[in-house]
Amino acid sequence: MGTRKQREKQDGLWIAHTELATAPGHPFYQKLNELLEAEKFDEFVEGRCARFYAVKYGRPSLAPGIYFRSLLIGYFEGIDGERGIAWRLADSLALRRFVGFTLEEKTPDHSTISRTRRLIALETHQEVFGWVLGVLADRGLLKGKRIAIDATTLEANAAMRSIVRRDTGASYEEFLRGLAKASGIETPTREDLARLDRKRKKRTSNKDWQSPADGDARIAKMKDGCTHLAHKAEHAVDLDTGAVVAVTLQGADQGDTTTLDETLCEAGMAVAEQVGREVELRPHEEPQVNVAGIEEMVADKGYHSGAVLERVKSYEVRSYIPEKKQKGQRNWTGKQAEQQAVYANRRRVRGGYGKSLLRRRGELVERSFAHCYETGGMRRTHLRGHENILKRQLVHVGAFNLSLILRKVLGAGTPRQWKDLEGTPFLLFIYYLLVGKIEIGSPEAESQYLVRNRSSNHEARLAARRGWSCRKLATSTPGC
């Protein structure tokens, strides 16, 4: 039996860096770095960010490649704030190696990361997002023909208790005390204020109230039913590959029919840019991106309106938007073009192809929200102002697009998924053995399925979770 006394020993003065322990996520980040270096990511961002750096004067700066890699860590590790990114980067040997810091170098703190973000323009972050789309297009992961659009809310870095009146600047409690005095209550208690507040209608309207901390935040109801100051994030997703083509950030009080045009135009420009890039780089090869641009657009019923369908038709894009249930019949007097657009959209939605697109939309768009904001850690923003949030959001969603490439190469899109896939080759072998895909004594067949891309390992995990046995699979597995 080992004792604590036996395990106590003096640490060596020197140790080779090759003998240091590495984190389980190191192979994942090594492959990600190989991808970025092969596509000359550092040269690209250094050229775009050169105008923001002084040649001779100023404090020691953070290299553009290190800055953008630090923001990528936020997605892959599920970290919401820049403080957490800085702490995780200083703590992990694998992330040090990914970013490019040696053991004797000090990693940047959160203030250095945030200051670099403020200095680099929003247009540069958009160019980095477009660079990621180009990497996807080179690998056939961007088509740009069928686009789905949907929006979600992000909780703002501001509290409801701090809102003030737009006209007078009074806080919510001061406003209630003024109403109480006007109603004849000279010294109102908190119970009196609460009772008076319950009788009021539309107590927190964005027309009357604002946040002094974040002027872009708006009062909105979240998906869980709670009321918070929030922002609205809208994604345009490629229905053929699941890649996010465009992302916009809007006020949470704006309706879907208002924000659709901006997101659709952003997606159209992104696809057109990739088409021009392919023509310039590979003029004699068959293009990967649809040359005609966006041809079909899918959205949920929150985006449906006659004016929206008419505008989408004017963009020469076919719409697939479910129609809301309405009472009675609509009056189409003087709205012939709008009527034709609504009827054509209704006919397309009711068809089999339209229903398949709507199912595809529900799968891929919600998946991008889940990966970026739930497991990706950006459901609550720790920045203020649309410009600052959008900078972080563009790199965050760009990391989601990079994970599509890594999922195709490694079978895992995040370090956590890579770790979950460890040890599954044996389960995969047992699963294929049970279902009869591998014959006992056939090494060629065994190697064919065991050396397969790790993305197929989810079948083995699914078999293990469901508890499939030889008895259940007896009809297709003779000899068990």
* 214-232: pLDDT as tens digits: 999 999 988 888 889 999 9
**Tens of pLDDT along 391-410?**
999 999 999 999 999 998 88
Whose structure tokens read 């078999």? 463
Domain boundaries, given as residue ranges, for the chain: 18-120, 142-157+218-325+334-383, 164-203, 423-466
What local confidence, expressed as pLDDT, does residue 448 receive? 44
**Tens of pLDDT along 107-136?**
999 999 999 999 999 999 999 999 999 999
Lowest mean pLDDT among 19-33, 44-58, 85-99: 19-33
What six digits make up the tokens of 53?
């750096």
Whose structure tokens read 């322990």? 21
Measure the N-to-C terminal CA separation of the chain; round to a whole number of Å: 43
Cα gap 139→132, rounded to integer Å: 11
Q: Exposure string (b/e) for 90-119, b if CB count within 10 Å is 16 or more?
A: eebebbbbbbebeeeeebbebebbbebbee
What six digits make up the tokens of 424?
């599954």
441, pLDDT greater than 70: no
Cα gap 125→399, rounded to integer Å: 12
For the entire predicted model, the pTM comes to 0.82
State whether residue 37 is helix, strand or coil: helix
What local confidence, expressed as pLDDT, does residue 11 receive? 64
